[in-house]
């Protein structure tokens, strides 16, 4: 099915926009929030930079978008690293010439109860889930 065939009649003004989807990979052929956002934005006509700390997962999302006729590129980055966060933005600008918005779907959780949380594991969760939006 082509992107044109799946494009909604009302694209909500997203046609021609450029988006970065951080956390745009998903395990296997599964669908996660980031992958879903990337696919839906591409269906609406946006060009998408799919970013994930696992480049293979980002590439899978790009392949799914490409199979529908959409435009996307993959970029591997660990967004807890300020230099890699800057490189992500540069990659979008270099590839697509502009950037309209960022959709942050990066996130992890801890396995235990909040009662059992250590300060170190709490800081790590916040570093991954919150800090990239600041960088």
- pLDDT by residue (tens digit) across 10-27? 678 899 999 999 999 987
For the chain, domain boundaries = 3-107
Strands (DSSP E) contained in 53-113 are: 71-76, 101-104
Q: For the whole model, what pTM was predicted? A: 0.82
For 35-70, the pLDDT digits (tens) are 999 999 999 999 999 999 999 999 999 999 999 999
Q: For residue range 83-119, what is the model confidence (pLDDT) as tens digits?
A: 999 999 999 999 999 999 999 988 777 777 888 888 8
Q: What CATH number does the domain located at 3-107 have?
A: 3.40.50.720
pLDDT over 70 at 1, yes or no: no
């Amino acid at each position: 099915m082509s992107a044109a065939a799946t494009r909604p009649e009302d694209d909500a003004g997203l046609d021609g926009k450029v988006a970065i989807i951080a956390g745009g990979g998903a395990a296997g052929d599964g669908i996660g929030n980031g992958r879903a956002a990337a696919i839906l934005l591409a269906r609406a006509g946006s060009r998408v930079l799919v970013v994930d700390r696992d480049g293979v997962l980002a590439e899978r999302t790009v392949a799914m978008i490409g199979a529908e006729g959409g435009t996307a590129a993959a970029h591997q980055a660990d967004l807890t690293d300020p230099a890699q966060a800057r490189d992500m933005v540069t990659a979008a600008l270099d590839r697509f010439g502009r950037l309209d918005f960022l959709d942050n779907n990066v996130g992890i959780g801890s396995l235990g109860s909040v009662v059992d949380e250590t300060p170190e594991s709490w800081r790590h969760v916040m570093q991954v889930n919150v800090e990239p939006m600041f960088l």
